[in-house]
Amino acid sequence: MRQKLILVGPTYPYRGGNALFMSYLYNALRTEFEVEFINYSVLYPSLLFPGTTQYDESEEHFDQVTSKRMLNSMNPVTWAKTANYINSKNPDLIVVDWWQPYFGPCLRGVTSLIKKELKPKILFITENVISHEARWIDGFLTRMGLKHADRFLALSKSVVDTLTPMANGRKIYRSELPVFGHYSKEEGLDIAVEKEKLGFERDATVLLFFGYVRNYKGLDILIEAFAEMEEKYPNYRLLIAGEFYDNPQPYLSLIEKLGIKKKVKVVNKFIPNEQVAAYFTLSEVVVLPYRSATQSGILNIAYGYEKPVVITNVGGLSEFVEDGKTGIFVPSADKTEIVKGIERYFSLKDKVDFGGNIKARNERNSFGGIVETFKEILADGKAS
């Protein structure tokens, strides 16, 4: 008889990396286990969500899963309802996704109502521990939310390091984010035509910044770095594709001030699934000039397209990049260092098989062994 798992977290119709990760996890685990998914009926209150919508409005959808949308992050009645449902199912493992301190009260409420004999079966997956733009209250909310975790599964070494003092001896397992290879590769895509659609020349060399924009992602640093390069490399173009969660005006003003408006394309929106292939396929390299990070879903999308990356060596990012093989490290989020990193990539691109190296790494991605990790977690639970 297959062991029973209950996942608690976001999935479709919500958008973003957390929903995507949990969908991948569900589909991986159900090959070996009986899995149920408890989804949110309300994720964030609209007033707290910085984007235009929390929902995936793509025309194409991938890895949709069957879920029960019963958990409202603001409604304690649903916290009790969720806990009661879990208790009634008597699962072998309760898997809770954690990525944002906002959910501390909600997840504390749910897990505190899990019956005593099930509490040793609560596993928290920690994508992040404290948010990238942490405030003083975030540590308090995080400790509140993680109070009843019996064990943890961390997705980067930097998360392990941050989590260890909070874990107080509770066991921490390790895995990685999956390579998001579900997007269509669009093998027949006419790259030159796609460049023209964006206003670029057919032979332009495109640098890509992808994903939502917040200060910690360092887009302003990349804009300044690009301005340093554009005279020396007149064929380079910068594509910024993703919704601004920060006020876009300072970034647009910086582009105008630096005189690079004709060489920069800003697409200020959430990029639907069916358009992702074009942005990555027409780009030469993906730049992640982050000021801080644990891991990045953007990195894994880039790997899904076998695109090399230039990254700052911060947080957990460097754990997932082989310097000079699958991408380039730069030591810090500094415009001069970003320029050096991009130049180093182009000096190596004809000597190093970046795409081949990325493909080989994708095949070794430890997320492929996630089922074995969960078997270990379940076996440990029995032993205890």
Question: What are the tens digits of pLDDT across the range 270-325?
Answer: 888 888 889 999 999 999 999 887 667 888 899 989 999 999 988 777 788 999 99
How do 236-241 and 205-210 pair as beta strands? parallel
Residue 234 lies inside a defined structural domain of this protein: yes
State yes or no: pLDDT of 81 exceeds 90: yes
Rounded Cα–Cα distance for residues 216 and 213 (Å): 8
**Same domain membership, residue 378 and residue 357:** no
How do residues 207-223 score in pLDDT, each as one tens digit?
A: 999 998 999 899 999 99
168 in the same domain as 22: yes
pLDDT category at 199 given cuts 50, 70, 90 is very high
Given a cut of 60, whether residue 376 has pLDDT beyond it is yes
Domain count, the chain: 2
Question: Same structural domain for residues 271 and 297?
Answer: yes
Looking at residue 134, its pLDDT comes to 57
Same domain, 133 and 148: yes
Region of poorest pLDDT, from 52-61, 94-103, 268-277, 357-366: 52-61
Which CATH number does the domain housing residue 9 bear? 3.40.50.2000
Beta-carbon contacts of residue 133 (< 8 Å; ≥ 6 apart) = 214, 215, 216
Q: Which residue has the higher pLDDT, 140 or 90?
A: 90
* Cross-strand pairs, 239: 208, 265
Q: Does residue 183 belong to any structural domain of this protein?
A: no
Give 315 or 225, the one with higher predicted confidence: 225
55 lies in which domain range? 4-178+366-383
Same domain flag for 376 and 320:
no
CA 15 to chain centre: 11
On the question of pLDDT at 46 being above 90, the answer is no
Is there a domain that residue 186 lies in? no
- Considering only CA atoms, give the Rg of the chain: 21
pLDDT (mean) for 238-256: 95
Q: How confident is the model at residue 172 (pLDDT cuts 50, 70, 90)?
A: very high
* Same domain membership, residue 350 and residue 266: yes
Residues 223, 262 within the same domain: yes
- Is 356 inside a domain boundary? yes
Residue 177: pLDDT band (50, 70, 90) is: confident
pLDDT attached to residue 157: 84
Distance CA 331, CA 290 (A): 11
Q: Is the pLDDT of residue 16 over 90?
A: no
Q: What is the pLDDT of residue 186?
A: 60
pLDDT value for 383: 42
Q: Phi first, then psi: what are they for 116, rounded to 5°? A: -55, -45
Cα–Cα dist 336/245, whole Å: 26
In a domain, 138, yes or no: yes
* pLDDT bracket for residue 237 (50, 70, 90): very high
Q: Which residue has the tokens 């194409």?
A: 60
Cα–Cα distance measured from residue 256 to residue 378, given in angstroms and rounded to the nearest whole number: 56
Assigned domain for 262 exists: yes
- Same domain as 265, residue 159: no
- Specify the amino acid at residue 228: E
337 and 354 assigned to the same domain:
yes
User: How many residues are given for the chain?
Assistant: 384
First to last CA, the chain: 21
- Work out the mean pLDDT of the chain and round it to a whole number: 89
Alpha-carbon distance values, 30 to 62, 188, 339 (Å): 16, 33, 45
Task: Please give the average per-residue pLDDT across 12-22, as a whole number.
Answer: 85
pLDDT in tens, 327-338: 999 998 999 999
Which residue has better confidence, 5 or 135?
5
Considering the domain boundaries, does residue 60 fall inside one? yes
More confidently predicted of 178 and 224: 224
For residue 275, what pLDDT is reported? Answer: 86
Tokens 């959808």 -> residue = 61
Q: Does residue 79 sit in the same domain as residue 211?
A: no
Query: pLDDT-based confidence at 125, cuts 50/70/90?
Result: very high
Q: What is the pLDDT of residue 384?
A: 43
